[in-house]
Amino acid sequence: MSLPIGTVTRILSTNDMVGSIGNLYQSFENLSEIYIQPEAKKDTLLKPKSLIFEGAATLLALPDNADQTRNVFTCGNCRRYVTYNLKDECPSCGNTMSTLAAFVKKAVKASSSVAKGYVKEVVTYMIMDNLEVKPMSTISSIALLNKYNVKEIGDLEEMVVSFGMDEGLKLLKASLESKTVLTDVFLRNKIGKDIPILRNRMSSNSNVRLKLLIDKKNQKVLFAEAGKNFVDFLFTLLPLPVGTVIRLLSQNYGMVGTLGKIYNSVENLSDTYMQPKVSKDTLLKPKIPIRVGAVSTLPSLTTSTSPTAKRFYVCSYIHCSRRHVSRTTRK
């Protein structure tokens, strides 16, 4: 339930993935660093960290599992060291390190000088029907027209659509089960029951716009022309935990396969059978590490600001009680 979609894709390989998520993963993997924001690291999407509770068995041997959910303990006497295990002995005085250390919390403000999101803004991107993403180019457009044997310009139609919450949920579901995502969402209306087909209609609550190139004869979206906001949204699907996807889709759209039943089982399981210190929300509502500034039209997505580094700092002032720890030297 806590595995990010990007991790599932990496384990199964992009070719074994149902739907179009594999194409999206491969697109980001192959995207040149020229188009990636300088501060954005590809591994945050390609190898997102999995929040697996300590001691939980996994047969997948997942690498890079962060210890984000652990408490940090210190010695109640000298407070010089910290540990994750409250039974460890202090190397300095020998006392048990059972005193819970408090993290210094400080709101981190995004600097206006730091680029936001994942991809650069000055580029126009081409998104294929199967969610393959690449920088827009004349050569790529011509090659695509030849691929689908489009001979007459009159067979093509441009459609400008808006992209909001409803479309985001429908695209998320389609990406998990279809190879023609854009066509299913914007033309065939296959996903969901209550959202009408969008044709040249703007949504007042969305500032994300797409220009679709449509093959009228076959009623198929050949590709979408989009900017940074939509591409950032697509890439934010990769770090979404499976539990979050189920929660987002279960109400109106339903889940593919039996994952929904696993989610309901955890949700309905009595606390009697749960470990005392385990919260169900770590599986049902796992935190999502989405880069600052990345646009997400999906509802109820909380970003994770949990620190992941393994170095801790305490106050060096000799008269301080050293009761607080931090992972940065600037607090």
pLDDT of residue 312: 64
pLDDT of residue 318: 55
Residues 248-290: tens digit of each pLDDT: 887 666 666 688 888 888 889 998 888 887 778 878 877 766 6
**What are the sequence ranges of the domains in the chain?**
21-28+121-300
Residues whose CB falls within 8 Å of the CB of residue 47, separated by 6 or more in sequence, listed in order: 6, 7, 10, 63, 64
Judge contact between 231 and 125, C-beta under 8 A.
yes
Q: Which of 177, 145, 164, 290 is nearest to 230 (CA)?
A: 164
pLDDT of residue 298: 58
* Strands, sheet with 99-100, edge to edge from the N-terminal-most edge strand: 82-83, 73-74, 99-100
pLDDT of residue 203: 42
* Positions in the chain whose pLDDT score sits under 70: 14-16, 50-70, 103-115, 189-207, 251-257, 288-331
**DSSP of 53-79, one letter per residue?**
PTT---SS--S----TT---EE-SSS-
Distance CA 181, CA 212 (A): 12
pLDDT of residue 328: 56
pLDDT of residue 171: 92
Residues whose CB falls within 8 Å of the CB of residue 125, separated by 6 or more in sequence, listed in order: 119, 133, 134, 135, 136, 225, 226, 227, 228, 230, 231
Judge contact between 98 and 274, C-beta under 8 A.
no
Beta bridge partners of 103: 325
